């Protein structure tokens, strides 16, 4: 299991706490520090069964200043997430061939069963 984690995000910390309480093995991916690749984002999208717009935080300053109101292809949206990883919804938990956005935390709880 892998969690795309932002330590400054309360929902992300809540997900880590839940994984620890359940004593699950997981890898922490500090995507803001380490960055993301287009391939990695495409794999996440496949596992989430979502489109790029579904995983973008549209209230972020980076989105509003650089992309809001523009007509963008899915490839352009993925490139925007690579350029501004802060745009990625969080936390995202990947397990095998599936993934979930762990907010609200109930979605993560359902995913673990």
Structure tokens that stand for 50 in this block: 């979502």
R_g over Cα of the chain: 14
Structure tokens that stand for 62 in this block: 């980076």
Report the interhelical angle of 105-112 vs 10-21 (nearest 10°).
Answer: 30
Active site residue 79: no
- Give which of 58, 50, 55 is closest to 31, Cα–Cα: 55
Structure tokens that stand for 68 in this block: 């809001």
Q: Which of 1, 9, 48, 105 is catalytic?
A: 9
Residue with tokens 């095998």: 96
Structure tokens that stand for 64 in this block: 């509003």
Give the residue numbers marked as catalytic: 9
């Amino acid at each position: 299991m892998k969690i795309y984690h932002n330590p400054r995000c309360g929902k992300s910390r809540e997900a880590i706490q839940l994984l620890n309480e359940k004593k699950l093995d997981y890898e922490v991916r500090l995507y803001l520090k380490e960055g993301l690749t287009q391939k990695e984002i495409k794999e996440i999208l496949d596992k989430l069964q979502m489109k790029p717009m579904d995983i973008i935080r549209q209230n972020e300053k980076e989105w509003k200043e650089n992309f809001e109101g523009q007509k963008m292809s899915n490839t352009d949206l993925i490139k925007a997430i690579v350029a501004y990883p802060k745009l990625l919804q969080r936390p995202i938990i990947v397990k095998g061939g599936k993934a979930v956005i762990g907010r609200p935390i109930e979605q993560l709880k359902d995913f673990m069963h």
